[in-house]
Amino acid sequence: MPDIDYTAWRFWIDIAQAAGTIIIGVYVWMVNRKKAVEKRFAKIEAVFDKRCATRKAQIETLEKNGASLKMQLEHMPNHQDIKELYGRIDLLNGSLSELNGRLVGINRAVDLINEFLINQGGKGAHS
């Protein structure tokens, strides 16, 4: 039987064991790093999802308000309607001016009749 050098075998087993330990250490470090990165990304995604939900709700509210405003604008008078209203107001203003002129004339006539009755009415009652 050949003579076995156990010291040499022990040396190479120790080298293999150290290499295995280093490989396992690097693997554990990479796995832990991956978990830490995934955890950070999960937190970022949670914040992002929350912000997206908030923005989505805000956008939906703005869309509803926009539709409501659009409906209100459809029922508002346009330039042609306002032009017609101005025409009607001008006609009404003209009619009121005419009526005012007539009332001034009637008021003057009533004042003259009243003055006549005061001046002439007193003379006729004494005769």
- Same domain? For 12 and 72 the reply is yes
Does residue 72 sit in the same domain as residue 89?
no
Residues in the chain: 127
| C-alpha distances out from residue 3 to 7, 10, 11, 13, 88, Å | 12, 15, 17, 18, 127
Q: What is the DSSP string of 79-101?
A: HHHHHHHHHHHHHHHHHHHHHHH
Structure tokens at 24: 């396992």
First-last CA distance in the chain: 181
Contacts of 77 (CB under 8 A, 6+ apart): 85
The structure's pTM equals 0.41
From first to last of its 127 residues, what are the pLDDT tens digits of the chain? 667 888 889 999 999 999 999 999 999 999 999 999 999 999 999 999 999 999 999 999 999 999 999 988 888 888 898 999 999 999 999 999 999 999 999 999 999 999 888 888 666 555 4
**Claim to verify: residue 41 and residue 9 sit in the same structural domain:** yes
45 and 5, same structural domain?
yes
Residue 97 carries which side chain, given as an amino acid letter?
Answer: S
Structural domain range at position 96: 78-127
